[in-house]
Structure 1
Amino acid sequence: MNMEAGDSPPPCRYFNLTYPLPFVAHVEINRPQKLNAFSEPVWRELPSLFSYLSTSPSTRVVVLSGAGPKAFTTGLDVQSFSENSLLNPNPQTSRPDPARTAQQMRRHVDDFQAAITTIEKCEKPVIAALHGWCLGLAIDISVCADVRICARDTKFAVKEVDLGLAADIGTLSRLPKVVGNGSWIKDVCLSARSFGSEEAEKVGFVSWVGKTGGKEEVIQEALRWAELVASKSPVAVQGTKEILNWSWSKSVEDGLKYTSVWNSTALQTNDVMEATKAGMQKRKPIFAKL
């Protein structure tokens, strides 16, 4: 699709960015030879990409998936993780005292958390199209998305306890908000057991499951949904996401007040008149870029 002057994405080695439909960006985690596992260079590319998509006038919806037939992502690259100098210092070199080591580790975790949170903070709706293995960090990523759908063959697991740590990139904070079943959440987080698409749909973790299994079906469904949402007023869609996210942990009264303030500006958009005219004329509305 046509990009405006200056509307160009950042260079990415570990993510593919395409526009298969007007205003629909498809972001693909691109490390299939490693089952799309995340090393530090991978997650450090993520913030600039999603910050770009958040404000790009050429983007209204984002589809997020994993390259290759086997996995959305298997989480952290275990080899890269094991080589982290903070976690596995060289016994031949001196190490800072525990307080200074803790400060370094906290900053490292904070950076990683902030990188993944850019998915949640993206102004545009993000639909996660999940397939194959979705382990560890896959859950952290998918709970940042607005909508989650999956192929029938998808296998999920919150794997961090098997690595000797508590999940620290967002799952333990966001999953209880996504799925309102505390017993089930503690079950999968404490045991690191795997669960499939049927169970994920039953508890409300995903809203759609493919019928035939495999990646292509879930990508097509994600694109169908994205095309539908991209056809709506970008003012209305982005406002709806903003208000829903802001109201997530607030009272109804606070949510109503925020909506009133937000719409006192947003209702002045020409999109309202365009949507009304299009409905009366029985045609598809055409909305300006935002």
Structure 2
Amino acid sequence: MSALDVRLDGRTTIFTINRPEKMNAINAEVANEMQRRFAEFDGSDQRVAIITGAGEKAFSSGADVSDIPELWRCIPTIGIVTEKPVICAVHGWCVGGALVMAAMADLCVVTENTRFSYPEGKVGLTGGMIATLAGRIPHKMAMEIMLLGRTVSGRRACEIGLANEVVEDGRHLEAALAMAREMEDMAPLVLKTLKRFVVEHTLIQTPSEKLARAQRDLAVVRTSADLKEGVAAFREKRKPVFNGR
């Protein structure tokens, strides 16, 4: 069974973190596969993406501490590179890096039983990307979530702008699909342009975001066929033939 389930629903692609027995904790497999499958989505004719979690307990409990991933790989606008709309359909617990994922998505639907939590101050470790929250919701609420580590309900999340809509338990995917249906028939170039303007020119990029984007871009070089060709040419004492891939 795959840790990430991907299925098409009309012109919307649904990405489901499929580790309910682990409260959908994000391990290396999930992070890497989500980045890869989103690249496929971006190059396809699909119009909208939804990210959700399997089971009833959690959207995601964040990074799997027993198999710590490069979490940036599955964060919208960082490792997930697409100008198409991304919606998070959240239910149950949404913890740590999963909260960052929801915050950096374009739209977010939550249920009455949703609980957002960011406990890094209680753990003693941070990746710093949560700082983006202060540029996306009211400053004092962002600091309450980050510095006090208080749990925020789905309804409260909607009130402070962390989510767009709160629905009855179990209806999060239905509500997200309703949003997606609205956008499926809109002009893709307009939606992409508006998203690009917001991401590149309106939202402030935190130091951790800039670092993660640099890691993303450098990873392309490190895993390229050109690098393999360059190393082989050096060993074989010949001129390399690069193809830009």
TM-score with structure 1 setting the length: 0.65
What is the total number of aligned residue pairs between the two structures?
202
What is aligned with 1:18? 7
Q: Quickly say closer, same or farther: Cα 1:194–1:167, change in 2 above 3 A.
A: farther
Once the two structures are TM-superposed, the CA of residue 247 in structure 1 deviates from its matched residue by: 2.5
Structure 2 Cα separation of the partners of residues 112 and 196 of structure 1: 24
Structure 2 Cα separation of the partners of residues 187 and 37 of structure 1: 24
What is aligned with 1:72? 59
Pick aligned residue for 1:186 from 127, 137, 143: 143
Structure 1 Cα separation of the partners of residues 194 and 32 of structure 2: 29
Structure 2 Cα separation of the partners of residues 42 and 223 of structure 1: 22
Instruction: For residues 127-173 of structure 1, give each alpha carbon's deviation from its aligned partner in whole angstroms, at most 9, with x where no partner exists.
Output: 101000101111111122100110111011112222211243x222x
Q: Quickly say closer, same or farther: Cα 1:184–1:154, change in 2 above 3 A.
A: same
TM-score with structure 2 setting the length: 0.76
Q: Which amino acid aligns with 2:186?
A: K
Structure 2 Cα separation of the partners of residues 17 and 146 of structure 1: 19
Map 1:268-287 to 2 at 5 A.
none
Is 1:35 aligned with 2:23? yes
Instruction: For residues 47-68 of structure 1, give each alpha carbon's deviation from its aligned partner in whole angstroms, at most 9, with x where no partner exists.
Output: 11111111212x1000110011
Q: Quickly say closer, same or farther: Cα 1:114–1:42, change in 2 above 3 A.
A: closer
Instruction: For residues 96-118 of structure 1, give each alpha carbon's deviation from its aligned partner in whole angstroms, at most 9, with x where no partner exists.
Output: xxxxxxxxxxxx8xx53244223
| Identity rate, percent | 27
Structure 2 Cα separation of the partners of residues 162 and 79 of structure 1: 18
CA RMSD of aligned residues (A): 1.9
Structure 2 Cα separation of the partners of residues 149 and 167 of structure 1: 25
Is 1:165 aligned with 2:125? yes
Please say if residues 50 and 118 of structure 1, whose CA atoms lie closer than 8 Å, have aligned partners that are also in contact.
no
What is aligned with 1:241? 195
Pick aligned residue for 1:229 from 176, 183, 190: 183
Please say if residues 25 and 61 of structure 1, whose CA atoms lie closer than 8 Å, have aligned partners that are also in contact.
yes
Structure 2 Cα separation of the partners of residues 70 and 167 of structure 1: 25
Please say if residues 24 and 54 of structure 2, whose CA atoms lie closer than 8 Å, have aligned partners that are also in contact.
yes
Q: Which amino acid aligns with 1:221?
A: A
Instruction: For residues 31-76 of structure 1, give each alpha carbon's deviation from its aligned partner in whole angstroms, at most 9, with x where no partner exists.
Output: 111110012222122211111111212x100011001111100112
Structure 1 Cα separation of the partners of residues 152 and 203 of structure 2: 28
Please say if residues 61 and 124 of structure 1, whose CA atoms lie closer than 8 Å, have aligned partners that are also in contact.
yes
Please say if residues 38 and 76 of structure 1, whose CA atoms lie closer than 8 Å, have aligned partners that are also in contact.
yes
Q: Quickly say closer, same or farther: Cα 1:249–1:69, change in 2 above 3 A.
A: closer
Map 1:107-256 to 2 at 5 A.
111-116=70-75, 117-119=78-80, 121-168=81-128, 170-172=129-131, 174-179=132-137, 181-210=138-167, 212=168, 214-215=169-170, 217-249=171-203
SS of corresponding position for 1:143: helix
Once the two structures are TM-superposed, the CA of residue 80 in structure 1 deviates from its matched residue by: 3.2
Structure 1 Cα separation of the partners of residues 176 and 71 of structure 2: 27
SS of corresponding position for 2:6: strand
Structure 2: runs of 5+ lacking an equivalent: 205-245
Structure 2 Cα separation of the partners of residues 235 and 80 of structure 1: 39
Instruction: For residues 71-92 of structure 1, give each alpha carbon's deviation from its aligned partner in whole angstroms, at most 9, with x where no partner exists.
Output: 10011223335xxxxxxxxxxx
